[in-house]
Amino acid sequence: MKKYVVVTGGVLSGVGKGIFSASLARLLKECGVRVNVLKIDPYLNVDAGTMNPNQHGEVFVTDDGYEADLDLGHYERFLGEDMSRKNNITAGQIYSAVVKKEREGGYLGSTVQIVPHVTGEIKKRIESLEGEINVIEIGGTVGDIESEVFLESVRELALEKAADDFLFIHVTYVPYLKASNEFKTKPTQQSVQLLRRSGINPDMIVIRSENPVNGDSLKKVALFGGVPIDMVINLPDVPNVYSVVEILKNYDVHRKVARRLRINLDESNFKWDYPKTFKTYKIALVAKYLGTDDAYKSIIESVFLSGCTKPSIVDAQVLEEMSWEQVCETLSEYDALIIPGGFGKRGIEGKIRAIHFAREYKKPILGICLGMQLMVIEFARNVLGYKNANSTEFDSNTPYPVITLMEEQKKVLQLGGTMRLGSQSMRILKDTKLWQIYGGVEQTSERHRHRYEVNYDEYPELFKMPNESGNKLVISAQSNFIEAIELEEHPYFIGIQYHPELKTKVGNPHPLFKALVDSIRN
Ligand code: GLN
């Protein structure tokens, strides 16, 4: 038995299809259903790795080294399961597979067309999903030229299968006009019409809104959308997105889906625990991708799921323009700092100043990937006096290249999917804070996404092993590379070459974030 729930979006992108799909999947999972999820991204990039986080949000890296859309992060956190490259398809992957097959003679004699060849490739990928219920989220908004081929594919597939194998849910937005004190359903009505033009009738309409929408407006949506009123669900904004699972349950969405798909649910073991109370510590995320909070989604959610209010973003470039006194004054307001990953030169001097402040004033600080590399640079410059020490990523002529391109990266010519990616194993060294934080685990693996590494061979004098003496950075985890560093005599000064934020799940935040929050004493 394989059933499919297709989630499409209307009116606007970014209204929360990802959260809805993840919450629905978790709700069904809690009712004993084996669920799987698939995000379809209609863009032509083969994966999200080459996109700017300012526009598209963070790149979420899976264990198998796939650079995915951030929705896979929602799926992992909500479902408590690791995703892989099988959980995401992009138009780029589909078209390149079709063109490759054509060159190999795979369609010999045929004119290769969108229908049936491209749709055929999409349907094949969808059919390979192995859940009892497969939740398929189609990215973008109906009416987008890129998504039409995907809508066509699910329409065809639904026709080929039994009537109770498919369910279509359309997630839209109903705006509120303050001037006339009314909710406006016209954009939703029109987006349902667009969906119908692609041959798809929604079975359920989910209305996102800022505030609860009144009953009359919901009736209007039901009427014009051609669905029974009990299949119109209103989801107003909530302060805690993890409550959506519960809200959907209260609306009986799981039973409505199950009835339509003719499957049985077992609700006897339903359990959904998520943090509801939060410490109100102020954590600064010293960052540079300011276009959208989505650029640091997994870090923000990791702090939140550790039971602390969400971090605020501090513009790294603003710190560059301040006097040192202003930097100290600004950052003193915060209880802890996080220096996230990133690429390119912009903002790095501001981040280095934040690290300098945290080191001197013993403010808890977590440096992630680029953040750890900058911790090494800061230490070389300000403790060892290596003037202009840098990473060759930002200054190819630095007199002290303490961070350099990994040897294996020197041969790399293409930029898509070629970094050191995904799960890599490492050894945590005993008698370090890291070792304590991991609960005494010595061998583990974490997810990576980088090209540069600590240049230990040329600058061993910056580092020491645990229990050695001297004012140096303690190496706290190793593989072929230095994976983590820390400082003694500091409440929390930890840098890691990997991305712990990618492993946080609801009810199981990565211990590095939990420990950061715990290190704050007011
Ligand atoms: N730009 C750095 C590198 O490539 C750091 C990458 C990151 O922070 N993800 O190594």
* 3-state secondary structure labels for all residues of 405-446: ECHHHHHCCCCCCCCEEEEEEEEECCCCHHHHHCCCCCEEEE
Distance in angstroms (rounded) separating the CA atoms of residues 446 and 444:
7
Pocket test for ligand 1, best of 352, 405, 452 (most atoms within 8 A of CB): 452
Integer-rounded Cα radius of gyration of the chain: 25
**pLDDT tier for residue 330 given thresholds of 50, 70 and 90:** very high
Q: Could you check whether 3-43+75-84+109-261 and 283-521 share the same CATH topology?
A: yes
pLDDT > 70 in the chain, percent? 100
CATH architecture of 283-521: 3-Layer(aba) Sandwich (3.40)
Q: Does residue 499 have an active-site annotation?
A: yes
How much is the pLDDT for 293?
A: 81
Tell me the residue type at 467: N
Distance in angstroms (rounded) separating the CA atoms of residues 405 and 7:
42
- Judged by average pLDDT, the poorest of 9-13, 226-230, 387-391, 476-480 is 9-13
Ligand 1 atom 7 nearest Cα: 341
**Max CA-CA distance within the chain?**
75
The yes-or-no verdict on residue 521 having pLDDT over 80 is: no
pLDDT digits (tens, 9 = 90+) for 433-445: 999 999 999 999 9
Distance in angstroms (rounded) separating the CA atoms of residues 173 and 188:
7
**pLDDT tier for residue 328 given thresholds of 50, 70 and 90:** very high
Atom index in ligand 1 nearest the CA of residue 344 equals: 1
Average pLDDT over residues 411-438: 92
Residue carrying the six token digits 């685990």? 441
Summary mean pLDDT of the chain: 95
User: With DSSP H G I counted as helix, E B as strand and the rest as coil, what are the percentages for the chain, rounded to 5?
Assistant: 40, 20, 40
The yes-or-no verdict on residue 341 having pLDDT over 70 is: yes
**pLDDT tier for residue 68 given thresholds of 50, 70 and 90:** very high
Atom index in ligand 1 nearest the CA of residue 393 equals: 1
Ligand 1 atom 8 nearest Cα: 341
Q: Any residues with Cβ below 6 Å from ligand 1, and which?
A: 341-343, 369-370, 393, 449-452
How much is the pLDDT for 292?
A: 81
pLDDT digits (tens, 9 = 90+) for 473-498: 999 999 999 999 999 999 999 999 99
Average pLDDT over residues 328-337: 97
The yes-or-no verdict on residue 106 having pLDDT over 60 is: yes
* Chosen CATH of 3-43+75-84+109-261 out of 3.40.50.300, 3.40.47.10, 3.30.200.20, 3.30.565.10: 3.40.50.300
Domain ranges of the chain: 3-43+75-84+109-261, 283-521
pLDDT > 90 in the chain, percent? 93
Entry pTM: 0.95
